[in-house]
Structure 1
Amino acid sequence: MFKGNVQQKPSSNLLPMLMLGTLFFIFGLVSWVNSILIPYFKVACELTHTQSYLVALAFYIAYLVMSIPAAKLIGRIGPKRGIIAGLWLMVAGTVLFVPAAYTRAYPVFLTGLFTIGTGLSILQTVANPYVTILGPIESAARRISIMGLCNKIAGIIAPLLFAAVILKSTDSELFEVLKSNSVAGAEKDLLLDELIRRVIVPYSILSLFLFLFGCAIHFIRLPDLSNEQEKSTHSSGDHKSIGSYPYLILGVFAIFFHVAAQVISIDTIISYAESMGFNLHEAKIFPSITLSCALVGYFIGILLIPRFASQQRMFRICTVGGLILSVCVLVIPGEVQMYGHATSLSIWCLSLMGVCNALIYAGIWPLAIHDLGRWTNLGSSFMVMALCGNAFMPVIYGLIADHYGLRIGYIVLIPCFLYLIFYAFYGYKINHWSELWKLKKDK
């Protein structure tokens, strides 16, 4: 599907980069709104913490289930038609929010989220390797950082815009009434129905936008990134299958743990703020703060890579920084005042994690899919499948949070960053499995 080393003139890359930037903006728009959907559904559909995090599970499990079928689809119809198909699948998912809202049926919402995730899995299968190979591999992290800016800008806007549309200044009283169970029966159902139907307008507008952008893609001329990597010699010799590339397989797990840590720091932060006394209207700012920190990380990457620091060095710094902040979330003492609430310093450590997470994703991709030759297409699909880390870890966090408390739940971040440190310092260099077995034997 993708050519191994595409070296085009900057002018010929401009339109594809603009198109990819728009796609990554869309990724952020529909993905990071989950950070407010989770607490919103928790109230409107009367859910536990664990049940509310099924939003992330339904959305991101599509990456695990659909990435390889998506790669086969793109191989058959081409990247351009694949993008259109992905966008229109997302339209189908967002349209499902309308009947789900009218019936207040949480399973229908989850079905819509899974459909949106399926469309995204197709788009991610096209977009990520496209960005990686649309220029020198040494500056791939810089291009991914630019795409990350588009993604995180959308992520900052999405929860604030969505909250502005669906939340009212009087909702604090409504939420307290619902949580205290001071109303019941038909009166309570009427309040919940009115609350959940507020999603109809924003998701109808989103459906129209995605449909029109899919139509516009039809008229955009994209470079022909053909299957010439099938003839590459990189996959010859002792590399007989996709499984014979340890740095790829280990990189798949690195993506899994990275996106898991990232989504936990963003999608759970509203609930964590609510535990400190914030209402939903006030707490909605925290995902945007975390994503703003990610913007800082991306700007650092764009400025420093590769002129002042290699992408490998920045990758290592960020993994170590992420581990330090994870420990601080669990143990740091102290409070600051915000909106009249005593806010634990741990929530600011959680937000600062955005700086580190920004460059970890950009560091993993180039290291994991380089020199795969004819396996580039399948390897990219495996990497996209690993985004299902967003699906499983929030649910695990929710289970721990329900039993031991929201702050203790963040212990799941520790193993994520420990593995990322292993990959950043050693795992990406392993070309043969025997090197890994030798390391274990030496230990």
Structure 2
Amino acid sequence: MTAITQDAPKSATWLPMVIIGTLFFVFGFVTWLNGALIPFLQIVCELTGTEAMLIAFSFYIAYVVMALPMSYVLNRTGYRNAMTLGLMLIALGCMLFAPAAESRQFLLFIVAQFIVGSGLTILQTASNPYLVKIGPSETAAARISIMGLLNKGAGWAAPQIFAVLVMGEFAGITTQSINALPAAEKAIQIQALADSLVYPYIGMAIALVVLAIGLRYSGLPEIDLAEEDKALNNTGKDKSSVLHFPHLVLGVVTLFCYVGVEVIAGDTIGLAGSHLGVEGAMSLTSYTMFFMVIGYTLGLILIPRVLTQRQLLALSASLGVVLALLIPMTNAQSYQIANILWGWMGITTIPDPIACIALLGLANAIVWPAVWPLALEGLGHFTAKGSALLIMGIAGGAILPLIFGLCSDQFGIQNAYLMTIPCYGFILFYALKGSQIKHW
């Protein structure tokens, strides 16, 4: 297989960018389906708020369990074969949704989610360092921002497509409306809802298999880390373990915090909307994804021309703190924020607390593309393991939403968003200091 270096000309990187861009679209579509899937399965499987967040937990905990094993697979098979394997695993998980829906067995949904998460683990472990290493490190955030536009664009589309293909005649249904039905009619309605999940997920599995076959024979080149290894051998003789890189380890914690708050912003906005009686609550994730797309676009424009990766990361974290404080403070009967920002364009408005949750997408957008190049800088042959550790940080998407669910049940869903403030605080620390610590 042909190798590609960080000094390769643009003509040698366009094909990998196109291929990886396709994969990032897949990441976004599959991942942000959870925003619609969680309130959907809460109705179908009759779950509490905490139980509903187990759907996200089973998906994201796969990143912890499978990241290091997948790094060994990556080192043995190379990037292209590892990505192909990842797509096949996601397809297998999607196929399992058919029997899970027919039987309405929550445990089977959990297993399917774990398999999908495992497939995404190897795709993410391979594709993110690939993007960092195929060009100059100072523009890596811009390259990842391009991928982020595709990822979050897919995230915006996923709930909309879910609403059309799965919800169909059930559009506008909420937990309150289904619970108001007589027992017999409720049972029929719930089973009909579950059955509507089968064919869309089978179709998605088939599409993923076709994409995996195309990737396998695409000619995707490998990356060459020889120069970085040479520099590491000259200056980093004390680095005998991947854990000897503080900026990497702190980057893992940063991603743990970030993915947790990103998932909370994207996957709970539907729950919050349903709780407040907002019509079309299952498609509210699209608002969060829209603002993430805006954030990625700003990153693409501003880095490195106006702001460095670290400066924009600090601004993003600060905005997250402000919005998290506003969510419980704003009036659920007011639509003022939405009216000011987009109501004048004729776009459907949402209550102020929901608008603040959606705006968290703007605060979250630049974190992922900024942290990866900062954390992987100078790792050389430790890059695959470093990438695996960073992927393990995605566990925040499993653990923090579960804590959010507990806080929501105990203190109310709007107050639960206050738990994200320490997370944004750590992201701010990494931007200002943590990313520059090269020795313990």
Residue 225 of structure 2 contacts residue 380 of structure 2 at CA under 8 Å; is this kept in 1? no
Separation of aligned partners in 1, 2:423 and 2:437: 20
Within 5 Å, give how 1:318-329 maps onto structure 2: 318-329=316-327
Q: Which residue of 2 aligns with 1:275?
A: 275
Alignment partner, residue 437 of structure 1? none
TM-score by length of 1: 0.92
Residues 44-78 of structure 1: CA deviation (Å, up to 9, x unaligned):
11000110111100111110000110010111111
Letter in 2 for 1:428: S
For structure 1, which segment, 398-407 or 190-199, has the greater mean C-alpha deviation from structure 2 after superposition? 190-199
The residue identity in structure 1 corresponding to 2:335 is V
For 1:407, the equivalent position in structure 2 comes to: 414
- Checking the alignment, whether the CA contact within 8 Å between 2:172 and 2:281 is kept in structure 1 is no
Cα distance in 2 for partners of 1:325, 1:97 equals 35
Alignment of 1:127-276 (within 5 A): 127-169=127-169, 172=172, 176=176, 178-180=178-180, 182-184=182-184, 188-226=186-224, 228=226, 231-234=229-232, 236-276=236-276
Unaligned runs of 5+ in 2: none
Deviation at 1:197, TM superposition (A): 1.1
The 1:267–1:145 alpha-carbon spacing in structure 2 relative to 1, beyond 3 Å, is same
Query: Relative to structure 1, is the Cα distance of residues 182 and 253 closer, same or farther in structure 2, using a 3 angstrom cutoff?
Result: same
Judge conservation of contact 2:4–2:224 (CA < 8 Å) in 1. Answer: no
Instruction: Specify the SS of the correspondent of 2:335.
Output: strand
When structure 1 is superposed on structure 2, of 372-381 and 230-239 the one drifting more is: 230-239
Q: Counterpart of 2:222 in 1: which secondary structure?
A: coil
Partner residue of 2:110? 110
The aligned amino acid for 2:28 is G
The question of 1:396 aligning with 2:403 is answered yes
Which of 347, 352, 355 lines up with 2:359 in the alignment?
A: 352
Provide, for residues 210-262 of structure 1, a one-character-per-residue CA deviation record: whole Å limited to 9, x for no partner.
00000101221122324636843425323232221111100000000011111
Counterpart residue identity of residue 208, structure 1: I
Q: What SS is found at the alignment partner of 1:112?
A: helix
Could you tell me whether the CA contact under 8 Å between 2:58 and 2:113 is conserved in 1?
Answer: yes
- For structure 1, list consecutive stretches of 5 or more residues without a partner in the other structure: 434-443
Contact 1:232-1:374 at 8 Å conserved across structures: no
Q: Percent identity?
A: 35
Seen in structure 2, the aligned counterparts of structure 1 residues 220 and 171 have a Cα distance that, compared at 3 Å, is: closer
Report the residue type matching 1:426 in the other structure: K
RMSD across aligned C-alpha pairs, in angstroms? 2.3
2:40 paired residue number: 40
AA aligned to 2:256 is F
Give 1:201 deviation, angstroms.
1.1
Q: Do the aligned residues in 2 keep the contact of 1:152 with 1:291 (CA within 8 Å)?
A: yes
Query: Residue 335 of structure 1 aligns to a residue in which SS?
Result: coil
Give 1:441's aligned residue.
none
1:304 corresponds in structure 2 to: 302
**Count of aligned residue pairs for this structure pair:** 428
Q: CA deviation at 1:362?
A: 1.1
Could you tell me which residue of structure 2 aligns to residue 332 of structure 1? 330
Seen in structure 2, the aligned counterparts of structure 1 residues 58 and 294 have a Cα distance that, compared at 3 Å, is same
In the TM superposition, residue 177 of structure 1 has moved relative to its aligned partner by 5.3
Q: Which residue of 2 aligns with 1:372?
A: 379
Matched residue type, 2:414: R
- Give the stretch that moved more between structures: 104-113 or 307-316: 307-316
One-letter amino acid of the structure 1 residue matched with residue 215 of structure 2: I
Q: Matched residues in 2 for 1:101 and 1:292: separation?
A: 29
Q: Is the 8 A contact 2:134 2:223 kept in 1?
A: no
- The answer to whether residue 439 in structure 2 is matched with residue 425 in structure 1 is no
Q: Using the alignment, how far apart are the partners of 2:162 and 2:120 within structure 1?
A: 20
